[in-house]
Structure 1
Amino acid sequence: MNTTLEEQFQVHYTELAEQVSELENALLLHTTPAEKAVRLLGKLVEQCERKPYANLLQLNLVGVTELCTRIAALYIRVFTDFSHKFTINEVFHLTCQKRFIGYVFEVSGYGSQTHVLKLLKAKAGEKKTQKLTDNPAMLRLLLLATLGDIDTADLVELSLEETEPAALITLGLLLDRLPVTMNGEAARKFLLEEYNPFHALRPIEHYAQIIANVWMLCSYSTAGRKHTIKQHLNDWFKRLHKAKGIAPKPTGSVPQPGNTQHKPVMAVVAESFNSLHAMYRWYAPIIKQLKHDYYMVLVGLKADVDDDAIALFDRYIEVPVDEMNLQPVLNQCTPDIAYFTSVGMRAWGISMANLRWAPLQVMSFGHPASSFSNTMDLAFINTRTVVDTGVVHENMLVLDSEIGSLIEKHKHLKLPEQAVLSDEFVSIAVPCNVMKINLHFIAALKEIERQAEKPVRFMFFPNEFGLGHLSTEKRLKAHFPNAIVARRTSYDQYLALLAQNHLALSPFPFGNATSTIDCMVLGMPVVAWLGEEPHSRSDYDVLAAFGLEDYCVATSVDNYVQGAVRYINTPGLLDELRALVKSKNFMERHVVDENPLAEEFCKALQWAHQHADEVVEPRGAAFWPEGRWK
């Protein structure tokens, strides 16, 4: 007997509803002091963002709307209780809850927090204060608002203030992962490029997570100087190190067990290296090659690695669950080289990237953007993704080798059956994380839709979970009512959904790499954009490896739109492109054991290690293989 979704989740709905009822009794009936309200809501948020409740809250059910409406009402109570003055600790906790608060209001019966913001704006006008954050109503408004809700005048006034509340408010605003309005884009650009209150943030470790989130999110902005903020946030991590007394030991002062051949020691800082994760699939071949010449030490959180990953290395050092307590890690290893497969996915990884742990510190663009840290010496790049040195802060080791098909196969790869595609409309996949979607990209999709002679159906893969999925779905459907917004699922199911499309569009300016590989696995064409930063060129690197750059890579937004429209409006041409992509036999190359990228990577790193004085300073240099490692 089949059961409905409501029936499947009834137990979890009842449990969550009971917790909301308890909060309603505590907050609405005033049985709990106001100063405890934010903390109690924080505990509810933690529950809602974890399984099984997150599984329930990502479903478009009447009961979910009702729950969100009740939770939103609790927040209205907190934000409109002017008898209580928020402490700096409450400002911080509301900042941590901010993304969830926005989701709740969007999914609730209220539809948004606009009505509350209007009330707070009117209340704020009743009292003039020297600082914006000294006005209780304005402080509440800024804590509740999204980037697109802020008046320009209020944004300018905020930027005149350099206080800890102002810094936390700014971080909260920049946590918005999908500011798809003109006001939202403009506000994000202004805060990233023009405002630096972050020196007012105390170096206390519970700020690290929201600072790390903003550090990473800035890379997805369309602003020209979006990385400027990283330098300010890097300074905060350095102040934290000093406050906690975190300091590496001298190089080579801690012998490594089992290093009987006295190989140079390389510590691999891996923010995510589970054997099912794309990061493992990209970098495992390189690690295997490096192990021939180096004693390899894996550094990572236990939750982010598994036995297969650990087995690649000579030693594993676990990062404490208390991520900012890095001294035990530093005490166990004093490497000759520290290699960061990415920087930005975890707070502890950013923290490590701002320590001088090894004489030579190098990174890959695994999270493909510059760290802007003065303790990160080199970044690996190749001839297709190399950019002007003004874009990348690190010096660059430029490899001849291409990415191509060099990512390892997914551990449990099962190709879906050939999908039967409709002739009545063109199905277009947009396989990218929600953070890569921006107003400029959406405008391009709308123009493609407008010029298409056939109906177009977009299928988005934002990789969101819980209420974040419903919020993202609502925002995207406001622009594309007929779109399918896929929920996060298993890799097999993801490929099966992806295969139901005629072609895929890669986002810009922050492009794809692994998602483009997924399309190649299916023999599906991808239209991509070639930009000015490494993360705008990774699609090109993959597609050019198969001779598809002339068919699939645009060099301007207009070119991108016209290229997609041409394939949509010329079915025979699209069929030819699909046949061409399939003829490249990606899967045959995907199983080849030889990995020229891994081999050249190791040669380049050996050269850099031998010429450490040359490659570390000054900044702004690009080192090419001729005359060095080739």
Structure 2
Amino acid sequence: MFKFNLTQFERDCLDKQGQAYKDLIALLDHMNTHSGDLPHMEFFNLPPRLNVEKRVNYLLNRIITSVSFLFTSTDSQIEPYLVVQLFTHQRWLALIFGVSVLKNADHLINLFLIKNTPQQIEFKKNKIILILLLYFPDSQFNIPIDQIWLINKEITLCWCFAILSNRHLITEEACTKREKILEFLAKISMEDIKINVKLIPEGILHDVYMHCSYAFTPLKHEVKKLINKIIQTYLQYNNISGTTPVPLKKPHKILVVVEWFTSAHSIYRTHSKSLEGLKDHFEVIGAGFSNKIDKVTIQSFNKFISIPKLSLAKQVQFIKEIIKQEQISILYMPSIGMSPLTIWLSNTRSCIYQIIALGHPATTFSEYIDYVVVEEDFIGNPNLFSEKILQLKSNGMPYRYPSHTNDYLSNTNSFKKSSEVAIAVCSTSMKLNYVFLSTLNKISRHSKKKIHFNFLIGNARNLTHNYIESSIKSIIESDCTVYSSRLYDNYLQCLNDNNIFLNPFPFGNTNGIIDCVIVNKIGICKTGDEVHEHIDEGLFTRLGYPKWTVCKTIDEYIKSAIKLIDIYSDFDTNYHEEVKTKLKDKVINGDVKNLAYLFMSLINSKNDSNK
């Protein structure tokens, strides 16, 4: 078990700064692999009679004090490899400051400024690395990105990727930075600049790739073009080139590379049935990490190959070797972006057909991904995809009920009578943003009834929960409760205590909507051109919710929410039972072989063209 020697770290900050940075990286790396939790600490002189909360705050204050001294007293340049690691883990340093009374490190950045007026900000250029390491999402400074770009392009990219990789961009300051960064990076082309990609934090590129979807700017996915070029350069450095695909041979085999595929994970709920439907026409070979699959989910495959713990480059070579040895016809990735490997695989040719589904609903902008699998009522604007669309019927990817839902399917309260209206917001922290939360404020201001928002956050525990709760409550004006992550049964119990639900935007819900239906709740969603917006509309339509519950604008969303707050009790138990029937008929049950037929049509068309 990793132990962090806080006392030694404090000493190193005084006289061994190189070692102190390594100590800090080790601390932040532990937080990264333990959902933001602090490690066991060894330290001297703990004040007496501190409860758990005060003890944690005390330790955080000591860490912040030492980090403050370390960063402000560093005279020499930090080793480049340490700089990359520090930016890789900047989000956890931001969390340490964010849960403290300081909220950010602006007081430290101010020490490096020469001039700071509303019209101009000027800083010591030799301190640019330290400034950007401390320039957290919640900073109130506005340092022009094009200004730091002219000073050091690699360091600017490090900072941009560090901010975009953060899972908690909730405040107005954080959301504004995300939008500006994505619009700036949309203008950057690897062909036009010379960048040493070895100075770019490779370990967080997949987070940037996925998290850009949570932004509002229409240019948000453009950053993937830059990421793809960076990864292709990494592949070249590792002598990995596109391989000549093996000819299509019977029996046809599909290699399914999964990122997360445990029985409790959403990807298993949404994609396992259609995977199992492939077995009549293909030998379905799964590949993934042994700790991301279990004895239930492994049954979705005819055979499963565990990917060894190697470097990313060697894992790509491992997958390529499987494809060659097994003579794979189709490389299929149900989701892409939750782990680095799938993004790397999407940037090289390994198979005749390389196809993704919408486990994370967005385009790849990769020239090596041929098709994206989408249900016909989820597509949105097809021009937003770089891939060709492999269109399923609306019931062509049936979902699976989560485990332990039978009691809720047969016995739930249709609504809870109270003097206030309890509104559920099912979300991860990534889906929360200042615009959405401000919209909730407008709803509560204009509603005639008293409102209590209940935020059920899927990735909130310990320090991360403290930060998320603090950020939400700094914006939300009405009463609210921010729940930490909990087991599914307990989560459903909390959800059942609400009257209605409101979907987040611009990135909506899929499984969250189904969870609300299971406990007899009706809600409001916002639709749009992006597939991750349009899925909400597709599901609401399948469930037969009133058309006014699907909104195209924020103003419509506010009006519809207020309307639902007033009349939600009109939707009685019989209505919710009808919705559950539609859930079963149009979402849970469906054509499990639709995907197989589409894949076979591709292979048959290829065979016909080769005749």
Task: Tell me which interval the TM-score lies in, with the shorter structure as reference length.
Answer: 0.7 to 0.9
Q: How far apart are residue 541 of structure 1 and its match? A: 1.6
1:212 aligns to what SS in structure 2?
Answer: helix
1:338 maps to which residue?
A: 331
Aligned to 2:380: 387
Deviation at 1:186, TM superposition (A): 3.4
Instruction: Identify the residue that residue 27 of structure 1 maps to in structure 2.
Output: 13
Contact 2:379 2:535 in 1 (8 A): no
> Which position in structure 1 is the counterpart of 2:365?
372
Deviation of the 1:300 alpha carbon: 1.1
1:413 to 405, 418, 422: 405
- Note the C-alpha offset of 1:177: 3.2
C-alpha distance in structure 2 between counterparts of 1:141 and 1:102, whole Å: 13
1:381 aligns to what SS in structure 2?
A: strand
Conserved 8 A contact 1:124-1:136: no
Q: Is 1:358 the equivalent of 2:346?
A: no
1:525–1:581 CA contact under 8 A, matched in 2? no
1:122 CA drift (Å): 4.4
- Equivalent residue in structure 2 for 1:97, among 85, 89, 95: 89
Contact kept, 8 Å, 2:36 with 2:464, in 1: the verdict is no
1:402 paired with 2:370, answer no
The one-letter amino acid of 1:341's match is P
Please name the residue that 2:43 is paired with: none
1:123 & 1:95 partners in 2: Cα distance?
A: 25
Match of 2:78 in 1: 86
What RMSD over aligned residues (CA atoms) do the two structures have, in Å? 3.2
Q: Deviations over 1:72-114 (max 9, x none)?
A: 1122122112323222222212112211111111212433322
Is the contact between residue 209 and residue 347 of structure 1 (CA under 8 Å) also seen in structure 2? yes
Tell whether the 8 Å contact from 2:460 to 2:485 is kept in structure 1 after alignment: yes
Pairing of 1:507-526 with structure 2 (within 5 A): 507-526=504-523
Alignment correspondent of 1:468: 464
CA distance in 1, matches of 2:527, 2:488: 27
Aligned-partner Cα distance in 2 for 1:79–1:142 = 11
- 2:508 partner amino acid: G
Displacement of 1:578? 5.1
Q: Which moved more, 1:277-286 or 1:306-315?
A: 306-315
Q: Which residue of 2 aligns with 1:529?
A: 526
Change (3 A) 1:446 1:423: same
Question: Does the C-alpha gap of structure 1 residues 611 and 438 become closer, same or farther in structure 2, counting only changes over 3 Å?
Answer: farther
The alpha-carbon distance between structure 1 residues 160 and 533, as it changes in their structure 2 partners (threshold 3 A), is: same
TM superposition shift of 1:205: 10
1:191 counterpart residue number = 181
| Matched AA of 2:354 | Q
CA contact (8 A) 2:254 2:283 kept: yes
Deviations 1:214-243 (A, max 9, x none): 111111111111000001101111111111
User: For residues 552-604 of structure 1, what are the alpha-carbon distances to aligned partners after superposition, in whole Å with 9 as ceiling and x for unaligned?
Assistant: 21122111111111122x2xx21123546522252795499984342222222
| Residue from 474, 478, 485 that aligns with 2:474 | 478
Structure 1 stretches lacking a partner, 5+ long: 1-11, 256-261, 616-630
Kindly report which structure 2 residues correspond to 1:583-594, keeping only aligned pairs within 5 A, or say none. 583-584=577-578, 586=580, 590=584
Alignment of 1:54-453 (within 5 A): 54=37, 61-122=53-114, 135-149=125-139, 151-161=141-151, 163-195=153-185, 196=188, 202-204=196-198, 207-247=201-241, 249-252=243-246, 262-324=250-312, 325=314, 326-334=316-324, 335-402=328-395, 406-413=398-405, 415=407, 418=412, 421=416, 423-453=418-448
Contact 1:166 1:197 survives alignment (8 Å): no
State the match for 1:40 in structure 2.
23
1:323–1:347 Cα contact (<8 Å) kept: no
Q: Which amino acid aligns with 1:54?
A: D
Change (3 A) 1:443 1:313: same
Q: 226-235 vs 416-425, which deviates more?
A: 416-425
What's the CA shift for 1:251?
A: 3.2
The TM-score with structure 2 as length reference comes to 0.87
Post-superposition CA distance 1:397-429 (Å, at most 9, x none): 22232379x311223436467568351211111
> Compared with structure 1, are the counterparts of its residues 248 and 316 closer, same or farther at alpha carbon in structure 2 (3 Å cutoff)?
farther
Task: Give the stretch that moved more between structures: 604-613 or 421-430.
Answer: 604-613
For 2:5, the aligned partner's letter is: Q
Contact kept? 2:161, 2:204, Cα under 8 Å? yes
Q: Retained in 2: the 8 A contact 1:429–1:501?
A: yes
Q: Which amino acid in structure 2 is aligned with residue 489 of structure 1?
A: R
CA separation of 1:513/1:83 partners in 2, compared to 1, >3 Å: closer, same or farther?
Answer: same
Query: Against the structure 1 CA distance between its residues 441 and 52, is the aligned structure 2 distance closer, same or farther, given a 3 Å change threshold?
Result: closer
Question: Taking structure 1 as reference, are residues 114 and 266 closer, same or farther at Cα in structure 2, changes over 3 Å only?
Answer: same
Does the 8 Å contact 1:362/1:380 carry over to 2? yes
C-alpha displacement of 1:518: 0.6
Distance 1:162 1:384, change over 3 A: farther
Aligned to 2:46: none
Give the direction of change, closer, same or farther, for the CA distance of 1:499–1:246 in structure 2 (3 Å limit).
same
Alpha-carbon distance in 2 for matches of 1:407, 1:528? 20
* Percent of aligned positions that are identical: 22
Decide whether the 8 Å contact of 2:354 with 2:371 is kept in 1: yes
Contact 1:124 1:138 in 2 (8 A): no
Q: Residue 113 of structure 2 aligns to a residue in which SS?
A: helix
State the SS of the aligned residue for 1:596.
Answer: coil
> Which structure 2 residue ranges, 5 or more long, are not aligned?
41-50
Match of 1:501 in 2: 498
What amino acid does structure 1 have at the position aligned with 2:61? T
Question: Is the deviation greater in 591-600 or in 420-429?
Answer: 591-600
Check conservation: 2:36, 2:463, Cα contact below 8 A: no
CA contact (8 A) 1:381 1:396 kept: yes
Q: Distance in 2 between matches of 1:539 and 1:514?
A: 10
Alpha-carbon distance between aligned partners in 2 of 1:52 and 1:368, rounded to the nearest angstrom = 24
Distance 2:587 2:306 in 1: 30
Write out per-residue CA displacement over residues 232-259 of structure 1, whole angstroms, 9 at most, x where no aligned residue: 101111111111122465434899xxxx
8 Å Cα contact 2:544/2:582 also seen in 1: no
Between 1:169-178 and 1:114-123, the stretch displaced more is 114-123
Alignment CA distance shift 1:34-1:309 (3 Å): same
1:187: Cα distance to partner? 2.8
Count of paired positions: 583
Runs of 4+ in 1 over 6 A off after TM superposition: 591-594
Greater alpha carbon shift after TM alignment, 35-44 vs 105-114: 105-114
Amino acid at match of 1:67: L
Distance 1:112 1:614 in 2: 62
Deviation (angstroms), 1:291: 0.8
Aligned counterparts of 1:593 and 1:517: Cα–Cα separation in 2 = 9
Q: How far does residue 153 in structure 1 lie from its aligned partner after superposition?
A: 5.0
> If the length of structure 1 is used for normalisation, what is the TM-score?
0.85
Q: Report the Cα distance in structure 2 between the residues aligned to 1:86 and 1:97, rounded to whole angstroms.
A: 15
Q: Secondary structure at the match of 1:317?
A: strand
Greater mean alpha carbon deviation, residues 80-89 or residues 44-53:
44-53
